[in-house]
Amino acid sequence: MSMPEPASAAGAPVINMGTAIRDGLLEAARRDPSVIFFGEGVEDPGALFGTLKDIGKHIGHDRMIEMPIAENGLIGVAIGAALAGKRSVVTLQRVEFALLALEQILNNAAKMHYVSRGNHKVPLVLRMIVGRGWGQGPEHSQSLEAIFAHVPGLKVIMPAFAEDAKGMVTAAVEDDNPVVVIEHRWSHYTTSAVAEGYVHRPLDGPRTVRQGDGLTIVATSYMTLEAVRAADGLAEAGYPVEVLDLRVVRPLNLDPIVESVARTGRLLTVDTGFRMFGIGAEIASEVTSRCFDLLEAAPVRMGLPDHPTPSSRGLVRGFYPDAARIARTAGEMMGLEEATISQVEEKILADRGDVPIDVPDPFFKGPF
Amino acid sequence: MAENDYRLRCMRQMLRIRLVEETIAERYAEQEMRCPVHLSVGQEATAVGVCDVLQSEDRVFSSHRSHAHYLAKGGNLNAMMAEIYGKRDGCIGGRGGSMHLMDPEAGMMASIPIVASSIPLATGTALSDKFDGNGKVTVSFLGDACLEEGVFHESANFARLRGLPVVYVCENNLYSVYTNLADRQPERPLTDVAKAHALESRHVDGNDLDAVREAASWAVETSRTGTPTFLLLDTYRWREHCGPNFDNHIGYRTEEEFQTWRVRDPLERYRKQLEEAGVLSAGSYAELERTLQAEVDAAFTFAINSPLPEPNEARAHVYA
């Protein structure tokens, strides 16, 4: 499987997404002395999964603010610092910790520019890591982008590929708005050739990572990798489908999605989060409103079922959408023969082999 | 002479705030100020005493009860009244109303009506100012109920840990809406809460302008050198929590309690003090009152004459 990564310098070093994010943050902080980092364990040996490793050595330790265990207060402090001209970058080890800070995020970060009639700016990056896998359980594995995407004034981004992630976190730091970055732990491990030095990717919306006329798949974050794998299986069987990596959840740029669906006539969304009230629901609804007459089938949403994430690898069987299920759903939507669908599905399952369900498939490690 | 200057300045500022709020109370029934108002009649000395020792570039954050803080910090009166009237010339164009008064040019950073929500913001600007070494101080005005919110403790802990130039000013008016402090917190000195976070504190009569100003002067200069401070100022809200009326008859507080505070009116006390000291004459006070009332009336006229914003303006400034 090859993953299209535009604009990688020829011969650029292959690194994983976690390292790419770290490199992007470091470049942004080197260019702008007003960038300061906050985190619980901001410079500890783990350095937030390595994503802040040695940044203090390069830019000075005074710009690395160790957070007391006080998410609401410290995110409020980061917002206050942003009001006074700093570019605050807060990293949370898990998305769930942000729930302690919803008051500050939804009331102050999201509204301060608006309610000051443009007088105040809140250049703030809130990085939140989705901790799927290896028994993380109901309160360490959620992908809660829909909560943040619901609120005007926030931007929400979900990079899936290493170089893209490097450029997008740089853009997030340079943005004058609060930007929530949802980072999927399993995407951190994926590798790509990543250009060295300064990389900037505008936060402008979906990117097409596979082309095809049979169906449009819109996927977020790690689910983009599963969708690409499904698309490659379908393409091999002679049924190429389109895969759009959503990248930016808010502001939601629907134009490329509507354009694609107008061509394929079919929409399948694949979320990292819960299916109900999720990103896919918003996309399916908008697309249906905008090009109902061009749809050849009802849109289908895939996402997590309507119960919390259990810890046991026994209980999570079937919990997450995967490439085989995406391929089957897409095949059924396109009206393919059962034999064809089974063949694609079995090939995907065979390629995965006996990799345990609760660790990332090394197939996805790349380099992409 | 310098002393007298500040006294007359503070007298004037307290009277101006009182006249603004009394005029709001008088005219509220006209149904043209169509937003909740939380009046600080009776609490003027805390706002004025603290803000008078600040430099214009120092910062202030306030809460839902923000009129006195806004005016004491030098916020524009016309823009305040237009904001309360929901007009285009309001300080934020009608986006917030009375609970969101701000005038960043005057250092009035923001008023946030969620209890305690502005405390970390104030702590954050203090962090940034410390980075920049610019000598600015941030004052975080908070009510007694804020000490019940976790975010006060989170902020105070961090401020002391980092040595931030922030002053937490607790205006203890005994009530959170209709609930007395005694029903919300155990009996202990509120300054002990600050002490637990290693903040240095002073506790003074919040209706005594000179006492407030002296304590604020100590607090601001102490925090300017990197030791965050806590001021506890006892005061009292004369009118209802939200709205223009008196509400002593509805049963959550007694008329007697109100009267004991009424005689401690910070404005009247200060006026008498200045008259006795020969700094102020009855005639000059009456003249001051006339001048200020004319200014207040002009601000109301300005607000009434300002146009309503158009609906399409509501979409602006969601993103920078």
Report the chain A residue with the minimal C-alpha distance to residue B153. A73
CB contact under 8 A, A73 and B151: yes
- Which pLDDT does position A366 carry in this prediction? 62
**pLDDT higher than 70, residue B277:** yes
Least CB–CB distance from A70: residue in B114, B125, B157: B157
**A253 touches B at CB < 8 Å:** no
Tell me, what's the pLDDT at A1? 46
Q: Which residue shows structure tokens 């509400």?
A: B247
- Beta strands at B138-143 and B59-62: parallel, antiparallel or unpaired: parallel
pLDDT value of position A356: 87
Provide the pLDDT for residue A231.
Answer: 98
Inspect the interface and report whether the beta carbons of A74 and B151 lie closer than 8 Å.
Answer: no
The overall average pLDDT reported for chain A is 95
If pLDDT is split at 50, 70 and 90, which confidence band does A367 have? low
CA nearest B126 in A: which residue? A81
| Residue A9: per-residue pLDDT | 62
The answer to which of A127-141, A256-270, B136-150 has the lowest mean pLDDT is A127-141
| pLDDT category of residue B228 using cuts at 50, 70 and 90 | very high
Band of residue B4 on the pLDDT scale cut at 50, 70, 90: low
Identify the band that residue A357 occupies on the pLDDT scale cut at 50, 70 and 90: confident
C-alpha B193/C-alpha B191 separation (Å) is 5
B124 contacts on A by Cβ (under 8 Å)? 76-84, 88
Q: What is the pLDDT of residue A11?
A: 85
CA atoms of A151 and A180, how far apart (whole Å): 11
Mean pLDDT, rounded, of chain B:
97
pTM of the model: 0.96
Chain B residues with at least one Cβ partner in A under 8 Å: 59, 92-93, 95-96, 100, 102, 104, 109-110, 112, 114, 117, 119-129, 131-132, 150-151, 153-155, 157-158, 161, 316-320
Which residue of B110, B154, B318 is in closest CB contact with A152?
Answer: B318
Q: Are the beta carbons of A78 and B124 separated by less than 8 Å?
A: yes
Contact state of A77 with B127 under an 8 Å Cβ cutoff: yes
- At residue A51's C-alpha, the angle toward residues A50 and A56, to 5°, is 90
Average pLDDT over residues B255-277: 97
From the CA of A72, how many Å to the nearest CA of chain B?
7
With a pLDDT cut of 90, the percent of chain A lying above it is 90
- Please compute the mean of the pLDDT values over residues B205-223 and round it to a whole number: 98
**Distance from C-alpha of A102 to C-alpha of A124, rounded to nearest angstrom:** 14
Establish whether the linkage from the previous residue to A251 is cis, with ω within 30° of 0. yes
> Dihedral through CA A41, CA A42, CA A46, CA A51, nearest 10?
140
Predicted confidence at residue B3, as pLDDT, reads: 63
The SS3 assignment for A274 reads strand
What is the tens place of the pLDDT at every residue in A153-197?
999 999 999 999 999 999 999 999 999 999 999 999 999 999 999
pLDDT given at position A133:
87
Of B104, B121, B126, the CB nearest to A79: B121
Beta carbons of B121 and A119 less than 8 Å apart: no
